[in-house]
Amino acid sequence: MNTPSSKPRVITAFEKLSKNLQEQIKLENPEGFSENLITFNNKDGDKISALRFETDEKIYLVKMSKIVAQQLIEDDDDYDEDGNLTDDARESYEDKYDSDFEGDDDEEDDD
């Protein structure tokens, strides 16, 4: 059973996020955003499409349609022509946000 999170939820646009949050979202979504969109109803009952991103402090619901999600990736130099995060961008962001992301089994940082 899922228990509701007590973290505050922030509904915003991708462009309004800080560069750091945008980079972390890219790192978490290396193959683009469109396949990870969720839908929910806002307080007025309108159906909203968004990308969910969670930090230690907040849950972000980044409003975007599938078309906008695809356009963001297409226009972003961090993604290649196939819509995948480039190796250079991935490595740069992994170095920058190393402690924020799990899944990297390489703990040999003592070189």
> Does residue 40 lie in a domain region?
yes
Q: Token pair of 98, please?
A: 């190393």
Residue 70 lies in a domain: yes
pLDDT in tens, 69-105: 999 999 999 999 999 999 999 999 999 997 555 444 4
Band of pLDDT at residue 2, cut at 50, 70 and 90: low
Q: pTM surpassing 0.75?
A: yes
How many domains does the chain fold into? 1
* Residue 7: pLDDT band with limits 50, 70, 90: very high
Q: What is the span of the domain harbouring residue 30?
A: 9-96
Q: How far is CA 111 from the centre of its chain?
A: 30
